[in-house]
Amino acid sequence: MSSNFSSQLGGASNTIPPPTEKPIAHLATVLLIVRLQYALATIAVSYPITPSIGMNFQFSQSRRITEFFQTSKELIIKGTAAYGDKPFELMTESSNVLVLPPSFIRKLRSDPNLAFEEPAIDNGMRLVSSYKVGQWLSLAAIHTTIDWLTQTMVDLAEYPKLFQPLRGEFSRVLGAEGFKMMALYKPKLMDSVIKESQRRKPVLLSIWRRLAKKDVIFFNGVVLRKGQKIIATNIHMSDVNYYENTAKYDGYRFLTMRDAYPGPFFAVNEIKITPAHLLLRYDWKFPEGFKPQTMPHIMVLLPDLLATLLIRRRKEELYLDSLERRSVSLPIFIC
């Protein structure tokens, strides 16, 4: 039996050499087939992709993953600027996700065909088989609370003119009513400062994440296929179409615009009591010449990990330990 592959065409014998005899020719054929499949897959994409893959075929996704790790925020800004109010696909470190403009969210946030739990859990958490959704949500709640407190302290150190009006607000409200639940709703400037810190540096570039459990047709005719991951980004919070002077930190922005918190009762204890203790009992600032920088990492926006605060005790305008504490649980502070 010959080692060559043979066929009979019109009585003549035609042989195809095996891969061992002409490896370059066979390798070229395989590459052409793979490239054709790649091109067909690209054509089948329903939405534009960021970053644009064009004709830059790659066997490995390592370059794309590295690019997303380093420039995730820039890629999202670029895609949003290019496609405006239209959905586009974003090539992330783990998979492609469909990025929706903010105008979609109000009508889709309660859609029963869009699953919350699976996309809410970070892929890394799946390495721990016993990790439950409730445990992740508890961790997320602690993480976000720490993040807003850290970023608010960083922003106040950068804009120290806000210290005095905030202390005056807490002294006035708490001095008159103590630590009663309803009193904690009244420091509106503190609400605005926290919200402005979250606007400038949210915890994540994407908070709203869903997974399509079945094909979904959007209200405007856009089709979402089963299994598609979708997100909505926070980039609009730095968009001049939504806010004026977005690059400027304005602690009074939400005080003059509208209520800063649509549901403050969920976390009012921590949100108000913690900064009350810190503001009235301590001074803090950056070392001379230090300028904090936000550090993007994948879909997370980290506070400046190199930031150092110089902190000292001060004589408070109001002795907090003497205030009436009713209808609210206070955290324990060791000072």
Q: Give just the sign of the alpha carbon dihedral 181, 183, 184, 186.
A: positive
Instruction: Using the predicted structure, report yes or no on whether residue 26 has a pLDDT greater than 80.
Output: no
Q: Which SS3 state, helix, strand or coil, does residue 112 take?
A: coil
Outline where the chain has alpha helix (H).
23-44, 62-83, 102-108, 117-120, 133-158, 163-177, 188-200, 253-257, 268-281
Hey, how many other C-beta atoms are within 10 angstroms of the C-beta on 273?
21
- Could you tell me the two tokens for 327? 């209808």
- In this prediction, residue 308 carries a pLDDT of 92
Q: Which SS3 state, helix, strand or coil, does residue 210 take?
A: strand
User: Quick one: DSSP state of residue 136?
Assistant: H
Give the distance between the most distant pair of CA atoms in the chain: 107
pLDDT 10s digits, 256-301: 776 545 455 556 667 788 899 999 999 999 999 999 998 887 888 8
Kindly calculate the radius of gyration of the chain based on its CA atoms and give it in whole angstroms: 28
Residue of 238, 168, 226, 228 whose CA lies nearest to 202 = 238
- Could you tell me the two tokens for 134? 């409730």
Instruction: Using the predicted structure, report yes or no on whether residue 175 has a pLDDT greater than 70.
Output: yes
Cis bond before residue 51 (omega within 30° of 0) = yes
- In this prediction, residue 132 carries a pLDDT of 57
Average pLDDT of span 26-35: 68
pLDDT 10s digits, 251-262: 999 987 765 454
- In this prediction, residue 2 carries a pLDDT of 47
Q: Which SS3 state, helix, strand or coil, does residue 224 take?
A: strand
- pTM score of the predicted model: 0.72
pLDDT 10s digits, 85-116: 888 888 887 778 889 888 787 778 778 888 87
Instruction: Using the predicted structure, report yes or no on whether residue 3 has a pLDDT greater than 50.
Output: no
- In this prediction, residue 204 carries a pLDDT of 84
Domains, the chain, in order of start with CATH, read 49-322 (1.10.630.10)
Query: Please, which pLDDT band fits residue 20 given cuts at 50, 70 and 90?
Result: low
- In this prediction, residue 107 carries a pLDDT of 77
Q: Give just the sign of the alpha carbon dihedral 252, 258, 263, 269.
A: positive
Q: How far is CA 188 from CA 47, 100, 201, 319, in A?
A: 43, 32, 20, 21
Higher-confidence residue of 244 and 10: namely 244
Residue of 39, 285, 284, 325 whose CA lies nearest to 177 = 325
**Residue 167 to residue 322: CA distance in whole angstroms:** 17
Instruction: Using the predicted structure, report yes or no on whether residue 48 has a pLDDT greater than 80.
Output: no
**Residue 39 to residue 335: CA distance in whole angstroms:** 64
Q: At CA 263, angle to CA 199 and CA 161, rounded to 5?
A: 45
Instruction: Using the predicted structure, report yes or no on whether residue 150 has a pLDDT greater than 50.
Output: yes
**Residue 282 to residue 313: CA distance in whole angstroms:** 5
**Residue 62 to residue 136: CA distance in whole angstroms:** 28
Averaged pLDDT score across all residues of the chain: 76
93 φ, ψ (degrees, to nearest 5): -70, -20
Query: Please, which pLDDT band fits residue 36 given cuts at 50, 70 and 90?
Result: low
Higher-confidence residue of 200 and 6: namely 200
**Residue 235 to residue 139: CA distance in whole angstroms:** 24
Q: Give just the sign of the alpha carbon dihedral 291, 254, 202, 231.
A: negative
Q: Which of 23-37, 93-107, 207-221, 306-320 has the lowest mean pLDDT?
A: 23-37
